[in-house]
Structure 1
Amino acid sequence: MILFATLFGSLLILLFIGVPVGFAMIGASSAVLLYTRGLDGLPLDMIAQRTLYGVNSFTLLAIPAFLLIGRLMNASGISDRVFDVARSLVGHMRGGLGHVNVVSSMLFAGMSGSAVADAGGLGPVQMKAMEKDGYDRGFSAAVTAASATIGPIIPPSIPAVIYGALANVSIAEVFLGSIVPGVLMGLGLMALVAIISVRRGYPVAARASAAEIARAFGRGILPMLTPVIIVAGILSGLFTPTEASAVALVYCMIIAFVVYRTVTFREFWQILKETAVDTAALLIIIAGSALYAWVLARYQVTGDITSFLSETVTDPWVLLILLNVFILIVGCFIDSVPALFLLTPILVPLVQSYGIDPVHFGVMMIFNLMIGLVTPPVGTVLFTVQKVANIPFGTLIREIMPFYIPLFLMLLVITFVPWVVRIVPDLLLR
C-alpha cells in the first residue's frame, strides 16, 4: 500500500501543481524507484530505456497520420461540403439544422478521428448556419459540443489506436466495435434535438430535392470515402490500421492538392509544423506512460489492486459500474488521451481477470472519456466551442445539461449490452 500511495500520490501532486502529464508520470515512476532503491541505486539507464521503448511502436505511427488528416480536412474546406451533404439529408426536419449539426459530425468523425478537430473545424460552420436561421447561440454551441464527442467514437479514432496499442488488442476490432455505439449516440442526440426544437418552435426548412441531394453528394463524396477506404482496407487484409492511416493520408493530400486545390504549400508547411508539435506532445505522454506501466508491473501494483477488488467485488457488472464512476471522475480532470495512457495499463489487466472482453471495455472507456471532454472543469471541447461561439461559459453549461442524458444513457447501453460493441467485429472478423 505504501508503494501504491507513493505512485499515485506523487502523480496527483505533480498534476495538481501543473506538471504536464507525461513528465508527471515520469516523475511519479522515478519517485517509486527512488523510494525502493535509494538515490545511489536509481536506475537512470532503465528509466531512459523504458521511456524510449514506449515510443518505439509501429502502431503509433497512425497517430501523426490521423492528426495530419484532420488538419488537412479542416484547411481544405471539406467542412462546408460535409455540412451541405448532411443538410440535404435531414435539414427538412423540425429543428433541421440541429439534426444537420449531429449528422455532419457523424460524417466528419469518419475523417478526423478527433473531437477537438470536429469542434474547431466543423463547429464554426455549424454554429454560423444555425445562428443565421434563428437558433439560439447557446443551443447551437451545446449541440456542436455534444456532437463533437462522436469524433473519436466512429472510426477512424485516435483514442482507439492508443487503446489498442496499450492494451495489446486488435485496433481493427476496437474500430469496428465503435460503429454501432457511434451511430446510436448520434440518434440519441438527434432525438433530444427534436424534443427541444418542438418545445422552442425552431424552424422547419424545405425538403431538398433529389437534384439538390445529388449535387451535395457530388461535392462531398470524395472526402466521405476516407473512412470507407480505411475500414474496407483493414477488413480485406490489404493493410493494417497503421498502413491504413498512411493510405488515407495520401488520399486526402490528393483531394486537397490535386482535386480541390484549396491548400497551398505554405499552408501545408504550417499544417505539418502544427501536427509535429501535437505529435511531440503525445510522444512525451506515451514515453512517460510506458515507464509508468513498467513500474506498475515491476512492483505488482496492478496485481495488488486486482487482489483487493477480487476480495470485495465478485460481480463483473458491479466492477464495471465502479470503473465507470472512476473513469468519469478522472475524465472530468484529465484530458482523454492522457487519461487513456494513465488508466489502460492499470484497468485492462483488472477487467481481464474478471473475464470482461477488453474490446468491449475499451469502447466503454473511450466513450466515457468523451463525456469528460464536455464536462467541467477541464472539458477541452467545451472550451473550444465556447471560444468559437463567444458566449459566457455559464450559458454553454446551462444549454448542454440536457445533452448529458442521451450520452449517459448510451454509456449504460454500452456497459450492460456488450453485443452492441461486439456485433460488428464478430460479424465481419469472425
Structure 2
Amino acid sequence: MILLLTTVVLISLIMINVPIAVAIGMVAIGGFALTTGFSQLYDMAIALYTGATSFPLIAIPLFILAGNLMNTSGISVKLINFITAIIGFVRGGLGMVNIGVSMVFAEISGSAVADVAATGTVLIPEMKRRGYSRTLAAAITSSSASLAIIIPPSIAMILYGAISETSVLTLFIAGIIPGFLGGGLLMVMTYILAVRYDLPRAEGFDLRLIAKTFREAFWALTLPVIILGGILTGIVTATEAAGLAVFASFFIGVFIYGNLDLKHLRRSMLEGISQTGVVMLLVATSAALGLFLTQAQVPQQLAAQITNYTTNPYVVLALLNLLLLVLGMFLHGAAAIILVVPVVMPLVHAVGIDPVHFGIMMTLNLAIGQQTPPVASVLITSCSIAKSGIWETSRTNLPFIGVLAFILLLVTYVPQVSLILPELINK
C-alpha cells in the first residue's frame, strides 16, 4: 500500500510539472512525517549528503564535462566526417553515419542527451537537405543516441552500480555486446527504410577521403581507446577514466585542434555544472526516499509478495520489464534508477537474478523510455533540433524502438549475451 501510494503521489506531482527532484524530496518528507514523525528528518539530512557523495558518482560530472568539451572543440565534427567517409556510400549511409557517430560518442560521454545534442545539430540539417524527412532524421538521431546509456562508459550504469553496490566495471563490460549489437541492428533497419523510401547515398567511396578524414580525426579517435582501454585493462577505475576523458578532451581541443578557447571552455563548464546539478539533486533526494522506503520495509514486502506468487525467474523478469517500461514513460532515467533499484533489489536477489544481468536490462528499458512519450527526454531533444512533431516522430520511430525492444528481450531471456564478456575476463 505504501509503495502504491508513494508511486501515485510522485507521478501526480511530476505530471503537474513539479521538478522531479523536488517531487521526490516532498514525497520523502511526507512519508517520514506520516509514518514516524518529523524526528526522522535528521536522518533524511544525512541521507541527502551521503547519497550524493559516493565515490563512483564523481564520474558523472566528469563525463558530462568531457562530452561538453567535445561539442565545443569540434571533436564531434571530425568524427562525423571520418565515419561519413567510411560508410556514406551505402544507401541510407548518412543515417548509418548518425548511428556510427553516436556509438563512438557514447564511448566518451555516457549521456544520451549530450549525444543527441552533439550529433543532431550537425547531422539532422544535412539529412533533411539530402532527402530524409524531418521525422525520420529525428527518429534515427534519437534512437541511436540512446546507445550512449548501453555502451560503456554509461552514466546510467554508474548510478545503478552505486545504488545496487554492483561493480561498475563489470557493468561496463556487460554492456559492450548489447550496445554494439543494438547499433548494428539499427543500421540494418536504417538500410531497410532507406531502400523503401529510395534515400540517396551520402558520398562515393574514396580511399583518399578516408585517409584524409582519418588523419583529421585521429586524435579524436584516441579518446574512446584511452577511456575504454584504461577501464577494461584495469589500469583505471570508471571515476579515474572520467577524469582522463576530461583531460584528454581538453588537451586535444586546446593543443591539437586549437578550437577550445576560454570562451568555449567557460560555456562547457557552465553547461556541465547545470547538468550535474540536476542529476546530483535527483541522487540526493532519492537517497532520502530510499531511506524512507527501506525503513517502511517496502522492498522486503514487495519481494515477499512476488515470491509468494512465483519464484520463476522468467516470470519475475517479465514483471520487472513491464514495470520499468511503464515507469520509463513517465520518469527520466536517473529518477527511474534511483526510485526502482532500492525497491526491487531484494526481489532480484531472492529469485537468483544476477545483479549485472538486471543492470543491463534496466539500462535497455531506460533507453526505450527515452523514446516513448510523454517524457521521452532524448526524443524531445531530437524533435526540437529537427523541428518535427513529437507524436508524428514517434510513429516513424516505431521500427527503431522495435529494435531496442528486441535487444531487451534477447538480453532478458539469453543472459549470456550480456554476461559472457565479464565471465571471460574474470577467468
- TM-score normalized with structure 1 length: 0.95
- 1:9 to partner: Cα distance: 4.0
Change beyond 3 A, Cα 1:295–1:313: same
Change beyond 3 A, Cα 1:38–1:296: closer
- 1:207 to partner: Cα distance: 4.1
Tell me the residue number matched to 1:264. 261
2:310 counterpart (313, 316, 340): 313
- Structure 2 CA distance for aligned equivalents of residues 330 and 93 of structure 1: 38
Q: Do the aligned residues in 1 keep the contact of 2:134 with 2:387 (CA within 8 Å)?
A: no
Further displaced range: 187-196 or 302-311: 187-196
Q: Do the aligned residues in 2 keep the contact of 1:332 with 1:372 (CA within 8 Å)?
A: yes
Q: Do the aligned residues in 2 keep the contact of 1:155 with 1:227 (CA within 8 Å)?
A: no
- Structure 1 CA distance for aligned equivalents of residues 89 and 399 of structure 2: 23
Tell me the residue number matched to 2:11. 12
- Structure 1 CA distance for aligned equivalents of residues 174 and 84 of structure 2: 28
- Structure 1 CA distance for aligned equivalents of residues 61 and 70 of structure 2: 14
Tell me the residue number matched to 1:33. 32
- 1:247 to partner: Cα distance: 1.3
- 1:5 to partner: Cα distance: 4.3
1:189 counterpart letter in structure 2: L
Further displaced range: 14-23 or 338-347: 14-23
Tell me the residue number matched to 2:160. 163
Q: Do the aligned residues in 1 keep the contact of 2:173 with 2:421 (CA within 8 Å)?
A: yes
Tell me the residue number matched to 1:22. 21
Further displaced range: 142-151 or 420-429: 420-429
- 1:358 to partner: Cα distance: 0.6
Change beyond 3 A, Cα 1:36–1:393: closer
- 1:162 to partner: Cα distance: 0.8
The 3-state SS of whatever aligns with 1:225 is helix
Structure 1 residue 223 corresponds to structure 2 residue 220: yes
CA RMSD of aligned residues (A): 1.6
- 1:44 to partner: Cα distance: 2.6
The 3-state SS of whatever aligns with 1:156 is coil
CA offset digits 1:346-402 (Å, max 9, x no partner):
122211111111111101101111111111111111111111111233431232122
- Structure 1 CA distance for aligned equivalents of residues 99 and 8 of structure 2: 40
Q: Do the aligned residues in 1 keep the contact of 2:103 with 2:147 (CA within 8 Å)?
A: yes
Further displaced range: 53-62 or 219-228: 219-228
- Structure 2 CA distance for aligned equivalents of residues 406 and 359 of structure 1: 22
Q: Do the aligned residues in 1 keep the contact of 2:73 with 2:253 (CA within 8 Å)?
A: yes
Change beyond 3 A, Cα 1:12–1:146: closer
- 1:36 to partner: Cα distance: 2.2
- Structure 2 CA distance for aligned equivalents of residues 312 and 229 of structure 1: 48
- 1:90 to partner: Cα distance: 1.2
CA offset digits 1:64-109 (Å, max 9, x no partner):
0000011111111122111112112211112111211111111111
Further displaced range: 4-13 or 91-100: 4-13
1:30 counterpart letter in structure 2: I
In structure 2, stretches of 5+ residues that fail to align are none
Tell me the residue number matched to 1:334. 331
CA offset digits 1:216-268 (Å, max 9, x no partner):
22211222222221222123332211111111211111011111111211221
Change beyond 3 A, Cα 1:403–1:257: same
- Structure 1 CA distance for aligned equivalents of residues 306 and 232 of structure 2: 38
1:214 counterpart (211, 214, 217): 211
Tell me the residue number matched to 2:84. 87
2:411 counterpart letter in structure 1: I
Tell me the residue number matched to 2:53. 56
2:401 counterpart letter in structure 1: Y
- Structure 1 CA distance for aligned equivalents of residues 37 and 296 of structure 2: 15
2:219 counterpart letter in structure 1: L
- Structure 1 CA distance for aligned equivalents of residues 202 and 261 of structure 2: 36
2:390 counterpart (383, 390, 393): 393
- Structure 2 CA distance for aligned equivalents of residues 217 and 130 of structure 1: 22
> Where does structure 1 differ by over 4 angstroms across 4 or more consecutive aligned residues?
none
CA offset digits 1:158-209 (Å, max 9, x no partner):
1111111111111111111111111111111111111111111112355423
Tell me the residue number matched to 1:118. 115
Change beyond 3 A, Cα 1:418–1:209: same
- 1:12 to partner: Cα distance: 3.3
- 1:414 to partner: Cα distance: 1.1
CA offset digits 1:10-67 (Å, max 9, x no partner):
433433333322222222222222122235xx32321211111111211111000000
2:173 counterpart (176, 187, 208): 176
Further displaced range: 255-264 or 135-144: 135-144
2:263 counterpart letter in structure 1: R
1:47 counterpart letter in structure 2: M
Q: Do the aligned residues in 2 keep the contact of 1:115 with 1:148 (CA within 8 Å)?
A: yes
- 1:213 to partner: Cα distance: 1.5
Q: Do the aligned residues in 1 keep the contact of 2:139 with 2:393 (CA within 8 Å)?
A: yes
Tell me the residue number matched to 1:343. 340
Tell me the residue number matched to 1:66. 63
- TM-score normalized with structure 2 length: 0.96
